[in-house]
Amino acid sequence: MIKIGIVLGSTRPGRKGDQVAQWVHDRAARRTDAEFEVIDLLDHPLPHLDEPVPGRYQREHTRAWADTIAAFDGFVMVTPEYNHSIPGVLKNAIDYLHAEWHDKAAGFVSYGGVGGARAVEQLRLICGALRMADVAPQVTLSLLTEFENHTIFKPGDYNVAALDMLLDQVVAWSAALAPLRAASPAAVA
């Protein structure tokens, strides 16, 4: 069974991402073609990158994070847009690892003043560098139209259709990339 992690990419107090990630998970849980799990970065507190050599993990928090990410076949990253980019905590969590991200699919659900679209542009570049297959469909959620009083998440029906299309692609690409993951040296390590 394909396993997809829903990465909640903000740890900011008062964040809105927890509502968004829960919506993604609730919608995804109706599917029978994959298993879905929320990966909240609050549950994986990583200091600023403190591994001296990439890929040779010396710290327990890095090994635990690597085990978490290695267990998934693909990801849906839920991110706000901060200053035309992604939150530093999400970038740090991604940068901790390398091979664990390889040959996995990634989809994006973003939110912000312009739906978080600029954050996703940054994530697509990062994922490409990590040999991830980012899917074209994305969900962009405006703070003006999808959040009542800028705080309570209220997605529209059109958001549900966009999310379903994104999930279809993430699951399909995760399955298609399985032979590459199986042949990877990281898979046998």
H or E segment to which residue 37 belongs: strand 34-40
Predicted confidence pLDDT, tens digits, the chain (189 residues): 999 999 999 999 999 999 999 999 999 999 999 999 999 999 999 999 999 988 899 999 999 999 999 999 999 999 999 999 999 999 999 999 999 999 999 999 999 989 999 999 999 999 999 999 999 999 999 999 999 998 999 999 999 999 999 999 999 999 999 999 999 866 544
Distance of CA 55 to the CA centre of its chain: 21
User: What pLDDT does residue 189 have?
Assistant: 43
With tokens 């509502």, the residue in question is: 19
Q: How far apart, in whole angstroms, are the C-alpha atoms of residue 83 and residue 125?
A: 17
Give the CATH number of the domain where residue 43 resides: 3.40.50.360
- pLDDT number for residue 55: 87
Exposed/middle/buried for 13, CB within 10 Å: 0-12, 13-18, 19+?
A: exposed
Which pTM value belongs to this model?
A: 0.96
By residue range, what is the domain housing residue 24?
2-188
How many domains does the chain contain in total?
Answer: 1
Tell which residue, 90, 72, 105, 126, has the closest CA to residue 17: 90
Quote the pLDDT of residue 79: 98
